[in-house]
Amino acid sequence: MLKLAKLISPFAFLAASAALASSASAADLPPAPVYKAPPIENIWNPWMIRVRALGVITRDSGHVDQVAGSGLATSDTVVPELDISYFFNRNLAAELILGVTRNHVTGTGSLNGLDVGKAWLLPPTLTLQYHFTEFGAFKPYVGAGVNYTWFFDQSAGNVTNNGVTITNSHLHDSFAPVVQVGFDYMVDRHWGWNVDVKKLWLRPNWDGTNGVTPISGKVNLDPWLIGTGITYKF
């Protein structure tokens, strides 16, 4: 037994020495880094919609080719309008506006007061916009694009004035260039208020009949589209 104790004693000393050395080395090491999970960021969504009240203010210009001194005027309207925007990045976006309006065309000049006719308009307008992002909640933008207007459900006045009776009235579908300026004021991440102004150069051809005689002309609508309403950013 004495021999066995003498044999074990060196091994115990070596084990204790190794444990102390390991403990000292561990004490000299820097503390293990603590890794935190990255914060969850709001995922940026490229879609935005707006619902606006839209004022359509026309130029009141035009003419009937066969009637000297004639002019044509178009009524102004206020209509609801839907806007869908897609952002390619935080500055560039494409906007499509949708709405319908009904306009009443009357005569001016030598046709003063003549009821020419009525028509519904569907004027989808697509613009490419640049949004300025360095003003905080105030986010102005400018844009330019194209409009295509469909005229439908058209009717003639069928009222005689100065010997002229429009018994048929037809405005032709037409393209128009458009420019715009506007801003969104964001109340929070999603909701805001929008003001938008567009100018169109819309000048559709027009034809009809005076009794049974074909006549033609041009209606220079050239409207301002002035809108304001609610913005929602997804």
- Whether residue 35 has pLDDT greater than 80: no
Domain ranges, residue 102:
47-233
Predicted confidence at residue 103, as pLDDT, reads: 93
Of residues 148 and 23, the one with the higher pLDDT is: 148
Predicted confidence at residue 13, as pLDDT, reads: 53
Q: Which residue has the tokens 């390619």?
A: 88
Task: Say how far apart CA 31 and CA 172 lie, in whole Å.
Answer: 80
CATH of the domain at 165: 2.40.160.20
The answer to whether residue 25 sits within a structural domain is: no
Reported confidence tier of residue 159, pLDDT bands at 50, 70, 90: confident
Predicted confidence at residue 135, as pLDDT, reads: 97
Of residues 86 and 158, the one with the higher pLDDT is: 86
The answer to whether residue 42 sits within a structural domain is: no
Four-residue CA torsion sign, 208, 150, 131, 89: negative
- Whether residue 136 has pLDDT greater than 60: yes
Predicted confidence at residue 164, as pLDDT, reads: 86
Predicted confidence at residue 21, as pLDDT, reads: 54
User: pTM, whole model, 2 decimals?
Assistant: 0.80
- Residue 68 per-residue DSSP state: T
The answer to whether residue 41 sits within a structural domain is: no
Task: Say how far apart CA 112 and CA 102 lie, in whole Å.
Answer: 21
